Structure 1
Amino acid sequence: MEFRQLQLFVAVAEELHFGRAAARVGMAQPPFSQQIRRLETELGVELLTRTSRRVALTPAGSRLLEDARELLAKRKDVITAVQRAARGESGTLRISFGASSAFGLLPGIVLRFRSRFPEVTLHIDDRERQEIGAALLAGDVDLAILRAPFRYEGVTVERLLRERFILALPASHRRAREKVFALSSLASEAFILFPRHSAPGLHDTITSMCVAAGFSPQILLEAGSWPSVLSMVEAGLGITIAPMSARALRLKGVAFRELRGASGWAELAIAFSGPEPSPAAAHFRRIAHETVARVE
């Protein structure tokens, strides 16, 4: 029993007329009637009673009509679901991010993605930077957002956002009322930064800027996430240099100030395995770039 046979049977069961049913499905009546006979033979039952004046359903035919409609509707649903998954409009998308990229931009991207693709289930986690490349290649993660530069064989990396650095210092700091700080004036300050293994590019950019300004930063403490770094700043334990998007954390005890003499940039990247992401990941990538364009 094939779906095509069921479609033909439903047509004649609803029309109760072979001529009209054949015309409805675009067939000549003789081959149409042959297909219905073949279906009855395969099932070993009579589905229709036929006289010169009328066509009627047998009890078996009535039952098959009910089930055939359900099967055909289910088939249509399955085809639609498969096609939506192929277009990236349903299914599961696994996103990973590095700790230094977990604020500011990501929530806005996720919000826009979910509003456009509500049938895609998002799984979002944070991972150590050194784990992300292997996770992408293994298929454990579909897409990653992390601080650039990032290189991993077999992984495509695209720049998503380029932003300037700002100074974050305790609101109780003796210089907190100043609006602009020269980087060179921070030589005697205690710094709080990411450990280098967590965000080597970001760490090296910040330390290189300090060296270019005439000093090596005195790193008093290290923390693995921006909330932790800025919480320590808020507690008065030191200062930090952060990407502008760090302001999104809005800690009352932290003052963000313009930094003069900081020549480097903080770059955020989007990464995926192979030359092209999966369809759902491609949608997320496009929305990420759209979100960045709004911010810039």
Structure 2
Amino acid sequence: MEFRHLRYFLVLAEELHFGRAARRLSMSQPPLSLNIQQLEASIGARLFTRSSKSVALTAAGLAFVPAARALLDQAAEAARHARDVGQGMAGSLSIGFAGTMLYSGLPDILERFQARHPLLRLMLKELSSSEQLIELAHDRLDIGFVHTTRVPPELSQILVSSQAFVGCLPAGHALAQQKSLSLGDLQGEPFAVVSRAVSPDYHERILSICIEAGFYPEIRYELRHWLSVVSLVSQGMGVALVPAALGRSAMAGAAFVPLDMATTPYDTHCLWKTARDNPALAGFVDAVRAANAR
């Protein structure tokens, strides 16, 4: 049984006349008759009764009409879906991100991209930079937003944001209302950081910034997520150095104060496998580039 057999059958079932059906199908009667015979042979039942004056559907033919129509509809839907996936309009994308991206443009990128690709399913996973590199290597992520310069050569990248570190203090801290903060004033304060295991780049950066300011930080709390760091500080349990974008979290009880010293910026890169053949991925990368250009 072939799809053309189903199309020919349905037209003949509507017309109940070989001549009219053949004209609708832009073919002559003998090939149409042959195709109907082939369909009946493959099914093992007669679908039409024929006489010199009329054509009628048999009971088997009447039962086969809705099934044949459903098969053709499913085939058409499968073809539409494959075409949409091939054009990057449907399917799915798995996107990894570190927490600060929620305050550094990711929601806007997602909203704009989803509006143009409503059939495309976006699946987001909050992961550390090191976790994202592993997931990208094993094709369990299509794209990631990371805070690391240790990028394998098989990955392409775009710099999507570059931000300064700021002091994060409890709102009631004596230095919380200052216009700028001298980092040395935090010497001896209990620090909260994202753990070395989760983000070795960030952990080392915090240590180097404090050492440059003349002291080694007293690290009291090591956490997995940036917002956990800010939340702990907001409870008055310590201080932290965090990317400036986290100031947009507007978490009650936390104050964000610029540093009076220049620090190496906290960069975020968008990463994906260069050799990955995925039209939806290519479209998302274009959306990231467009967001950067604005």
**Shorter-normalised TM range:** 0.7 to 0.9
| Contact 1:209-1:262 at 8 Å conserved across structures | no
| Contact 2:184-2:215 at 8 Å conserved across structures | no
Tell me the amino acid that sits aligned with residue 261 of structure 2: G
| Contact 1:193-1:219 at 8 Å conserved across structures | no
Equivalent position SS for 2:10: helix
Equivalent position SS for 1:56: strand
Q: State the alpha-carbon separation in 2 of the partners of residues 158 and 216 from structure 1.
A: 34
Note the C-alpha offset of 1:189.
Answer: 5.3
Tell me the amino acid that sits aligned with residue 219 of structure 2: L
Which residue pairs with 2:228 in the alignment? 228
Q: State the alpha-carbon separation in 2 of the partners of residues 260 and 177 from structure 1.
A: 14
Tell me the amino acid that sits aligned with residue 178 of structure 1: Q
Note the C-alpha offset of 1:2.
Answer: 0.9
Tell me the amino acid that sits aligned with residue 271 of structure 1: L
Specify whether residues 190 and 217 from structure 1 end up closer, same or farther in structure 2 by C-alpha distance, changes over 3 A only: farther
Which residue pairs with 1:241 in the alignment? 241
Tell me the amino acid that sits aligned with residue 65 of structure 1: V
| Contact 2:162-2:267 at 8 Å conserved across structures | yes
Tell me the amino acid that sits aligned with residue 146 of structure 2: L
- Indicate the larger mover: 279-288 or 220-229: 279-288
Which residue pairs with 1:195 in the alignment? 195
Specify whether residues 20 and 219 from structure 1 end up closer, same or farther in structure 2 by C-alpha distance, changes over 3 A only: farther
Number of residue pairs aligned between Structure 1 and Structure 2: 293
**Identical positions, percent:** 32
Note the C-alpha offset of 1:72.
Answer: 0.7
Tell me the amino acid that sits aligned with residue 161 of structure 1: S
Which residue pairs with 1:259 in the alignment? 259
Which residue pairs with 2:54 in the alignment? 54
Which residue pairs with 1:45 in the alignment? 45
Which residue pairs with 1:6 in the alignment? 6
| Contact 2:100-2:245 at 8 Å conserved across structures | no
Q: State the alpha-carbon separation in 1 of the partners of residues 75 and 22 from structure 2.
A: 22
Give 5+ residue unaligned stretches, structure 2: none
Tell me the amino acid that sits aligned with residue 32 of structure 1: L
- Indicate the larger mover: 81-90 or 14-23: 81-90
Q: State the alpha-carbon separation in 2 of the partners of residues 217 and 231 from structure 1.
A: 23
Which residue pairs with 2:214 in the alignment? 215
Q: State the alpha-carbon separation in 2 of the partners of residues 174 and 205 from structure 1.
A: 25
After TM superposition, the structure 1 = structure 2 runs for residues 1-296 of structure 1, keeping only pairs within 5 Å, are: 1-98=1-98, 101=101, 103-152=103-152, 154-183=154-183, 190-212=190-212, 214-221=213-220, 222-276=222-276, 278-291=278-291
Q: State the alpha-carbon separation in 2 of the partners of residues 217 and 157 from structure 1.
A: 33
| Contact 2:132-2:146 at 8 Å conserved across structures | no
- Indicate the larger mover: 265-274 or 89-98: 89-98
Cα deviation 1:175-226 (Å, max 9, x = unaligned): 22222335566556554322334223333444444455x4244233332211
Note the C-alpha offset of 1:119.
Answer: 4.1
Specify whether residues 89 and 284 from structure 1 end up closer, same or farther in structure 2 by C-alpha distance, changes over 3 A only: same
| Contact 1:47-1:60 at 8 Å conserved across structures | yes
Cα deviation 1:10-68 (Å, max 9, x = unaligned): 11221223233223222233322322233334444332333444333222222222221
Equivalent position SS for 1:233: helix
| Contact 2:165-2:241 at 8 Å conserved across structures | yes
Equivalent position SS for 2:140: coil
Q: State the alpha-carbon separation in 1 of the partners of residues 216 and 284 from structure 2.
A: 38
Instruction: Compute the TM-score of the two structures, normalised by the length of structure 1.
Output: 0.82
Give 5+ residue unaligned stretches, structure 1: none
Cα deviation 1:112-165 (Å, max 9, x = unaligned): 455444444444333344333232222233322221323235333332222233
Instruction: Compute the TM-score of the two structures, normalised by the length of structure 2.
Output: 0.82
- Indicate the larger mover: 217-226 or 273-282: 273-282
Equivalent position SS for 1:27: coil
Equivalent position SS for 1:71: helix
| Contact 1:103-1:248 at 8 Å conserved across structures | yes
Equivalent position SS for 2:166: strand
Q: State the alpha-carbon separation in 1 of the partners of residues 274 and 291 from structure 2.
A: 24
